[in-house]
Amino acid sequence: MTDRLRIDGLQYGRWSRAIFEEMRAARLDAVHVTAAYWENARELMANIGAWHRRFEAHADLIMPVRTAADIDHAKASGRTGIILGLQNCSPIEDAVDLISVFKQLDVHIMQISYNNQSLMSCGYLENDDAGLSRFGREAIREMNRVGMVVDTSHTAERSTLEAIEYSARPTVVSHANPQSARATLRNKSERVMRAVAESNGLMGFSCYPFHLPEGSDTPLEQFTEMVARAVDVMGVEHLAIGTDLCQDQPVEVLTWMRNGNWARVMDYGEGSADQPDWPRPLSWLGGARDFPNIEKGLEARGFDPTEVDALIGGNWRRFLGEALKPKGVGENE
């Protein structure tokens, strides 16, 4: 295994020392972790507090990422840098000022909607997509100012395109795949993919079975072929990995992800009404320990070492090097 930088653009595990040890066994230098789905501000604060306890208890394995340079420090010290992010804008409630508060608490990435309509934009499961709201535009302006990345992974098409156009800084799709690989609205159209690339943004390939061509039976070779085709659309410099691993999580957590507090019956979201449980894991990605299989698959597909470097972590590092820097008031006008 070479000494290239390795970054996973999305995980949501049942965090434990065992998972952190897997991250280190895979030599992951940074992982973007989900700190909230439907939580409000107070609940997010509790989740951040839990991460502070983990940083203390497992300081030999993980460390917080406060600036992009911390990813380099994590690698040099043999640890995994943890990048806190939100899969929904619910924690900022209706207060744009909470964006800067959470940025100061090292929350660096925020989706502008999860599956449903949010105060900022529309999630992909809604029937009607009205695009960015007035609050959404103000929130994006503030995210641009403080250096919090705009993520549209679960956002509907019109809202995604408007966010890309409105944002003064590049945006990300941290974990999704091309709709050409699997025709679900959760994946992204070529129009969105091109808009992300043209704005110098980034898209991370998801390994969640519901996003893949053959579900849990998708072979690694089919995954890397999907990557190769996306390179033809976006260019290798705009692509990365965001596995969307939900490791060791019980089905109760799946219910929280799908339902939050808004529904009493199971909302199956990305899966089928006949699939009330987690999908069966991929044979080549059962947990964080298997991340190197992606790297090996890209090499076997014929990507050269420079391209593999970029896809496995270099593009995330380059992107975050600029994206996490605050801008002065007025610079994003």
Flag whether 330 is in a domain.
Answer: no
Flag whether 183 is in a domain.
Answer: yes
State the CATH number of the domain containing residue 267: 3.20.20.140
Q: Exposed, middle or buried, 203 (CB in 10 Å: 0-12/13-18/19+)?
A: buried
Q: Is 80 exceeded by the pLDDT of residue 237?
A: yes
Higher-scoring residue by pLDDT: 330, 215:
215
Flag whether 64 is in a domain.
Answer: yes
Q: Which domain holds residue 120?
A: 7-323
Q: Is 60 exceeded by the pLDDT of residue 8?
A: yes
Contact 80, 29 (CB under 8 A): yes
Q: Is 50 exceeded by the pLDDT of residue 329?
A: no
Q: Taking the CA atoms of 47, 50, 56 and 60 in sequence, report the sign of the dihedral they define.
A: negative
Q: What is the pLDDT of residue 265?
A: 80
pTM for the complete prediction?
0.95
In the chain the first and final C-alpha atoms are separated, in Å, by 45
Q: If you search the block for the tokens 């340079």, which residue do you land on?
A: 69
Q: What is the pLDDT of residue 41?
A: 98
Amino acid symbol at 129: D
Q: Which of 54-68, 109-123, 269-283 has the lowest mean pLDDT?
A: 269-283
Q: What mean pLDDT do residues 14-43 have?
A: 98
Flag whether 216 is in a domain.
Answer: yes
Q: How confident is the model at residue 331 (pLDDT cuts 50, 70, 90)?
A: very low
The total domain count for the chain is: 1
Flag whether 332 is in a domain.
Answer: no
Q: List the structure tokens of 204.
A: 């991370």
pLDDT tens string 100-134: 999 999 999 999 999 999 999 999 999 999 999 99
Flag whether 316 is in a domain.
Answer: yes
Q: Which residues partner with 86 through β-bridges?
A: 36, 110
Flag whether 51 is in a domain.
Answer: yes
Q: Is 70 exceeded by the pLDDT of residue 332?
A: no
Q: List the structure tokens of 57.
A: 């208890």
pLDDT tens string 62-84: 999 999 999 999 999 999 999 99
Q: What is the pLDDT of residue 266?
A: 73
Flag whether 331 is in a domain.
Answer: no
Q: List the structure tokens of 293.
A: 């299989």
Q: What mean pLDDT do residues 226-233 have?
A: 98
C-alpha of 13 from chain center:
13
Q: Which residues partner with 33 through β-bridges?
A: 11, 84
